[in-house]
Structure 1
Amino acid sequence: MIENKDTDPKAFERYFKDIVKLHYSPANYRDVPDNQGGDCGIECYTLAGHAFQCYLPEQISDIKKLVAAQKDKINKDLKKFRDNTKKLEKLFGSTKICRWILATSAHKSAEITAFCAQKSLEIRELNLNYVASDFEVLIHTEADYRLEVEALSKQAYQLNIDFEKNTAQKVEIWIDQNLTFLNNLDRKLPKVVGDEAQRQRTKSTLVHKYLDYQNLLNRLLQDWADIYEVVITAVQNRQEYLETRFLTAPELLPNEVIKAELQKLDDDLSREVITLKRTDIELIKFGVVADWLIRCPLDF
């Protein structure tokens, strides 16, 4: 986490720019340094047309003073955004700005929301070349970027998913209590693992992965619902494809097919959810295999 971000305006600016960069990805982020000639009312923008101006108020406890300070900041910077037309046309190129966002440390009044709506209409009426027809002035805080804040707070762009891990004893108890549920697994394992003793060890390992995977999914659903949806979609796509391959080509070797689909799932998750830790991706992969072996009625 950036030091002194709560008291140092420049530290807060660097911190919120990191949030924006993480949210939109560096390839879609454009910095606007103010070292030469001012920032024209923005400090960074994205290729999605979202422009950001950072502001750390002196205090946030007195709501009336906070709102007055934020209104003043919005007025001053929107004037720069409105008046520096030549500079901004050159800066934005073909990008149309549809959102001007005050990135600040607190949003405590509906009055400032209404003020932003009024300013949105005023800017639209100017018909500036670099402003989109659906232009809006917004106010955002850290609370609007919970995943990014969590990632930055860990000093790395990764999620810290705190879920319950199962012990070997819990796994064995669960197996004893769910023998019927595990019939599919018992039927399929001999076709993957030849040795009986190895099959029992593999069964325990797979059930362990399955239970931890379920706990991980529950934690994602509880704390990061958007990430949960992405993971579930990726998993379902791979499981459906896996089942289709065995339906259409039953002669395929299970080990080779599962290995190939695991790699594709790894690629999907690494691309779609860049904040997942490598250890969590590995657990998801083997949890998916265990889930498929346990639940899918297809024989192979």
Structure 2
Amino acid sequence: MSAVIPRLAGDEWQRWANKLLTCHYGPTEYQTVPDNDKGDAGIEGFTVKNGHVYQAYGCEEPVSTKQRYEAQRDKMSQDIKKFIDNQTVLKKIFGSVEIERWILFVPYFDSKEIVSLASKKTAEVLAAKLPYVSDDFRVMICQETDFAVERDQLLNANLGTIEVQVEGATTDQVTLWASSNHSLSSILEAKLKKLPTIQNDKHRLEFHQKVLKWYLDGQSIHEALRIYPEVYEKILRAKNHRENFLAMTLISGAPPQNILNTTLNDLIEAFKSEIKLLSSFDAESLAHEAVADWLLRCPLDFPEIQNHD
């Protein structure tokens, strides 16, 4: 079982990073730089007073330390090249601001090699003698935990109630998913045979389909909530936190049906209490998705039924 918190990536991480940086520096101090017109200038935003330039990058997780470093290495190298090459554009963007730091802002880094690369890239930028770079310039890398105060402020902000509208998975879509993911579907089928409250194949098949629908409907809600990085991040944290303790259910001695019901109800209450801006309907749907996901991936299992003949 992985203890790694699933991370935001791509555009979702960029939006979240900009919120963190705006919260940290203030909206009149941190200037975002949109990239939807005439290409990417190679920066996410910059600060006016102290000349800090940020580029946000979140790679797809989970990956190994080596893969994470390689992805971050490539991103830093590509965008430092843009920082050097795009002098005409960047001079207009920075105006009179003198840049002292260029920072790759990532969800998480765990390799000293990326710090070494930052030192190498510092020398490259200084050697280019860019008109917008100070003599004290340095390339750096930072991660989300460096902005823990701002993260907690945003995650606990009262944003009102969010309720997303998604189309529920049809019977055909559930059947297609099961046939395309046969190994996961088979794992679920084997686990459901341990539930003594389901007495025949017909009811077991119906419940099998229902669990897969929980999963697919919840995945649709997850995708819809990605436009709210604060909410999405909190959902991932809450789900992951509880996943780390699921192994305890196997030694509880409780019947399988009790394990299933208790896990589901506890997670519904957790989502409702910890993510108050979620509607009750979405909290329940996401809890069902989490249980279905755990059943498919194996963090949640049931003890073998003991026959006492």
TM-score normalized by the length of structure 1: 0.49
TM-score normalized by the length of structure 2: 0.48
Q: Which has the higher contact order (CA 8 A, sep 6+)?
A: 2
Rg comparison, structure with higher value:
1
